[in-house]
Structure 1
């Protein structure tokens, strides 16, 4: 394909991404689906682009997306907000992740006969929920503010699980060491060193900004410093992604990490990113995620229909397991509509997609099937979530959920929705 044509296509992709974002706002259809569809048409359907044609750039691109996603996730995670809503969100966050992790891991173990660590990696990667999809959908349905906050905080808090755990498991997969004492030692060493580099790097960067005020006016100096930290950590054979995540969390929550002895040297306010820089990062992440989901579509293995089919079945099982988690953890007097919405909010997103590419990048023998299964679950979880959201919002599925969760007293709105669903 000629260079001018590629440049034109890049421009069209950006406009397509903005258009799909608008569709999401108006129609509650996540842009992920449209981007992956375009990628599938370009790749496995019409074979205009092959994943192998990206060469080493594909690996570099995935790492860049990972760095920015982890950094933005870290800066957006406010410890004060987590503390204030911890009682409401901790239960569904922890139990939801564990149930999903166990469900997917067990199914992969029996269906694909993969090694135990590979199954744990897939399960932990797909154990969370997509913040972009959850936040967008929750705003479009009249659940209680407490329920909306719980779901939004869950999507943010599970990032810690779905990033730290699979990355630690990946290190064990690469080394192939299963000795319990060595495994625990490697896990702790990798995690602690990466955290120290990330948090220590945040202090150092704050100090540098205080000493060189001109850097505060630049927009790319912070990610440039993060690139150095990430590369250094990876070069030392520790977890670069954990460093990126901890650096972002420390940047956004310095007052919770900074020892009193450093307060005079590193003022808290200097490390707070200006709104203009946050907007720049958000736009950059938007561009990266647009191209990355197209890349996912290109990489989907539709020639392995069995993998796609099993991905669809695994996703159905995840939704069923989610209902069990909601029954166990959510108060009985919670409105039926809220329980129904909590049961369907398990779409998988960009973080899971990026993590899923890492085993293949690092030449793990199970890399292809891990990536393919994860991509399939991401696709079907979004499709199922959107479909069930429509059925719930219109009231069509409320009678079914009423059978599942028991005959609690319906709110006036739920009665109206149920009546509307019956008429439809």
Structure 2
């Protein structure tokens, strides 16, 4: 059998397993990430069918595509008015929960494990990588377990926001780690501010321009193909001009989703209604592309993950439990604000369980070596730093797997308790 036929068989297998996983996610609340990571492990470390070295050339591109689709998909769920006025619980859960998760990971890795003692920021960056839940997984499951609507909205929006937090704060720490040696804090802060302002401005302008293009070409076919090419170009151009491509894509999507706040720069008010109508079809098609990228990326995670390394697996398992326990006090505080004063314990437990990590965590872990090399302007990381980033990839991948398993088991165990929240 030729190598190309062999590759096509594997690709079709990945897509079929991914589709089956998507069906199981929709019908039985079992995250597809579990099946895809396990499939990757079977194809890679277990059987050697797909060698890890084969992925070295595509991992960076697949990771960048993952960031583009995550950020654009996240922007669909960010309504600025709703976020500031009616979604305070989600904002608190996302912000405080992300900080707590990041700090728990940092203290455990740096002070207990002694990971990379030369630079404590390496432990903190693991915290930001696994600091937030997966929007795609959490939103899909919470909408199908018949949870009260207040919980559905809060958990879905929280997971969207934490996807964004994971990418933004990991990018910031990557820059600080790469530039930190011998560079003044003021210089680092100025560079970060310049990068972010550049990204937001370029993304905002790109969002208005994309709205105009979509409106002018609304009668044409294959608009989504043009839109995704536009986003890839935006990501690349922003990086070229010294910004952050992921933030630029997010800004572009937020402008599209909230066009009513940007009427002053639009040619007419009629464009707002037409774009909102187009966004429904764009969102549907974007979910298909997101699913396809998730399939191959999670398989890649399984291929690079070494479950046989007991040390890494143990650390990841402990972190998964600590992240769950660390979330519970915050969930207990937030629950009454969602209308669950009488059943506070049940609501808090359910909120805590919806913490499964996903594509954002996996993508930022895999992209970490590339980002550090880019910021350091080198083609090869120092041996100790390379070993540290490999460790981070292994731990983050295992945490993604374990947190999804815990969520699945937790939902099954709490099935009857969930009904009590409704009646």
Q: TM above 0.5, one fold?
A: yes
User: Which residue is 2:359 aligned to?
Assistant: 350
Q: Choose which of 282, 285, 291 in structure 2 pairs with 1:286.
A: 291
Question: For residues 53-107 of structure 1, what are the alpha-carbon distances to aligned partners after superposition, in whole Å with 9 as ceiling and x for unaligned?
Answer: 1232221122122212211221332334324532332222222111111111221
Corresponding residue to 1:341 among 343, 350, 365: 350
For residues 330 and 5 of structure 2, what CA distance do their matches in structure 1 show? 52
Q: Any runs of at least 4 consecutive aligned residues in structure 1 with deviations exceeding 6 A, and if so which?
A: none
Distance 1:28 1:270 in 2: 35
Question: Residues 164-192 of structure 1, C-alpha deviation per residue, up to 9 Å, x if partnerless?
Answer: 11112222222235522112111211111
Of 119, 126, 129, the residue aligned with 2:123 is: 119
Q: What are the within-5 Å matches in structure 2 for residues 5-84 of structure 1?
A: 5-84=6-85
Q: 2:239 aligns with which of 215, 229, 234?
A: 234
Query: Can you give the 5+ residue segments of structure 2 that lack an aligned partner in the other structure?
Result: 374-380
What are the Cα deviations for residues 368-400 of structure 1, in whole angstroms up to 9, with x where unaligned? 1221111111111111121222222255xx9xx
5 Å matches for 1:5-404? 5-110=6-111, 111-114=113-116, 115-177=119-181, 179-210=184-215, 218-256=223-261, 258=262, 260-264=264-268, 267-269=271-273, 271-272=275-276, 273-331=278-336, 333-335=341-343, 336-362=345-371, 363=373, 364=381, 365=385, 366-394=388-416
Over 3 Å counting, the alpha-carbon distance change for 1:6 and 1:29 in structure 2 is: same
Any idea what SS the aligned residue of 1:333 has? coil
How far off its partner does 1:216 sit? Answer: 6.8
Cα 1:174/1:148, change in 2 over 3 Å: same
Q: 1:266 to 1:259 in 2, by over 3 A?
A: same
TM-score (norm 2): 0.87
When structure 1 is superposed on structure 2, of 213-222 and 168-177 the one drifting more is 213-222
Equivalent pairs counted in the alignment come to: 400
Greater relative contact order structure (CA < 8 Å, 6+ sep): 2
TM-score (norm 1): 0.86
**Against the structure 1 CA distance between its residues 137 and 210, is the aligned structure 2 distance closer, same or farther, given a 3 Å change threshold?**
closer
Deviates more, 1:103-112 or 1:304-313: 103-112
Unaligned runs of 5+ in 1: 399-411, 417-424
